[in-house]
Amino acid sequence: MRSALLARVKRLETVRAVEDSNCPLKVEFAYLKLLPREYEGPRHRVKVGQRPDGRDECEERPGAPPRNHAEDQDPNV
């Protein structure tokens, strides 16, 4: 019982920290095509399109992300 209570308090503190940060949290869902499991090395995600249901289509690509990569611009997504 005590561990469940402590876990709940920890989750509530995390939510409270996000609410107090004046930085809105944005969650986006997308269909993601992954690189093969055998691939080892740096990888980044790229948006390649959008489906009729409104969700984005993304895929992982090998290598480091370009300097102007969208994920670097908005860390809250």
Q: Domain segments of the chain: what residues?
A: 25-65
Amino acid at 60: E
Q: How far apart are CA 12 and CA 17, in angstroms?
A: 9
Q: Which of 71, 73, 67 is nearest to 30 (CA)?
A: 71
Quote the tokens at residue 27: 């969650």
> One digit per residue, pLDDT tens: the chain, 77 residues?
788 888 888 887 777 766 666 666 677 788 999 999 999 999 888 889 999 988 889 999 998 887 765 554 455 55
Quote the tokens at residue 36: 């093969």
- Pairing assessment for the beta strands 56-62 and 43-50 based on DSSP bridges: antiparallel
pLDDT of 69 reads 59
